[in-house]
Amino acid sequence: DSGVTQTPKHLITATGQRVTLRCSPRSGDLSVYWYQQSLDQGLQFLIQYYNGEERAKGNILERFSAQQFPDLHSELNLSSLELGDSALYFCASSVAGTHEQYFGPGTRLTVT
Provide, rounded to whole angstroms, the least separation between the CB of residue 107 and other proteins.
Answer: 10
The residues pairing with 88 across neighbouring beta strands, listed in sequence order, are 37, 108
Closer of 12 and 56 to other proteins (Cβ):
56
The candidate with the shortest Cα–Cα distance to 36, out of 84, 74, 87, 70, is 87
Q: Is 104 in the site for other proteins (CB under 8 A)?
A: yes
Cα 21 to its chain centre, rounded Å, is: 7
Q: How far is the CB of 79 from other proteins (least distance, A)?
A: 23
Q: Cβ closer to other proteins: 20 or 103?
A: 103
Query: Cα(111)–Cα(78) distance, rounded to whole angstroms?
Result: 11
Compute, in degrees rounded to 10, the torsion defined by CA atoms 27, 46, 68, 18: -120
User: To the nearest whole angstrom, how small is the minimum distance from the Cβ of residue 16 to other proteins?
Assistant: 28
Strand 10-13 with 107-111, pairing = parallel
Q: Which of residues 11-70 bind other proteins (CB under 8 A)?
A: 31, 33, 35, 42-45, 48, 55-56, 58
Give the footprint of other proteins on this chain (CB under 8 A).
2, 4, 31, 33, 35, 42-45, 48, 55-56, 58, 90, 92, 94, 97, 99-106
